[in-house]
Amino acid sequence: MFQIRRLLFALLLIFYSFYTVSAQQIALLKYKGGGDWYANITTSLPNLIRYANQNIHTVIDEKPAVVTPDSPELFNYPYVHMTGHGNVFFDDNDIQNLRKYLLNGGFLHIDDNYGMDPYIRPQIIKLFPNQKLIELPKNHPIFNQFFHFPNGLPKIHEHNGKPPQAFAIIINNRIVLLYTYETDLGDGWESEAIHHDPWEVRENALKMGANILQYAFMN
């Protein structure tokens, strides 16, 4: 009996070590400009991570990091999330580092939490002056990863009565920057107590978020 217990304990240690080493971490972008980069910081990304780990079998550290666009640590994260309602500003160091990150396999997901749009679009132009934001068609692979969205991006929160849109900067057939607009996925990832959304709405947001994570990791 003692030998069996010791063997089980050893196997648990191996499993724990493997999980710790292989778990990836994603990050939230802390940007300049005075906008609330920290919007949705409490439950949004952690809920998405748990959902993805449980449903599409990702192995992501349940605690997301916070990283600035000029930090060398940016390159540690295969997926970086950015959200907020207000002003955004990337200085030259931010632009240089962020562009290098994205061109070398990184993925930036910008989710307009309502009010960010007029501020983020000029910064995207600064980041990729020779590229255009392209609206993704409903049949794009990002809508058909583990979960299927035949109508494209789901609508989570109503703001101006506009349809949800997914825009992207695509380089060498790979999305390097995804901009989700008029959907508010991040609010949909929040716990029910935050916005009191029904489970069906939150589940749609989580499924789409899981698709985005899977796409970012696989491309």
Q: Is the pLDDT of residue 22 over 80?
A: no
Give me the pLDDT at residue 118, please: 96
Could you tell me which of 56, 45, 57 has the C-alpha nearest to residue 81? 45
pLDDT in tens, 171-203: 999 999 999 999 999 999 999 888 888 999 999
Nearest to 212 by CA among 45, 1, 15, 85: 45
- Name 83's bridge partners: 111
Tokens in use for 37? 């980069």
> What number of other Cβ atoms are within 10 A of residue 102's Cβ?
21
Tens of pLDDT, residues 44-101 = 999 999 999 999 999 999 999 999 999 999 999 999 999 999 999 999 999 999 999 9
Question: Quick check: 19 pLDDT over 50?
Answer: no
List helix spans (H) across 23-72.
44-55
In the beta sheet, which residues pair with residue 148?
A: 144
Does 119 score more than 50 pLDDT?
yes
Look at domain 25-135+152-218 and name its CATH class: alpha beta
Q: Locate the domains of the chain by residue range.
A: 25-135+152-218
What pLDDT, on the 0 to 100 scale, is given for residue 56?
Answer: 96
Tokens representing residue 89 in the block: 């500003």
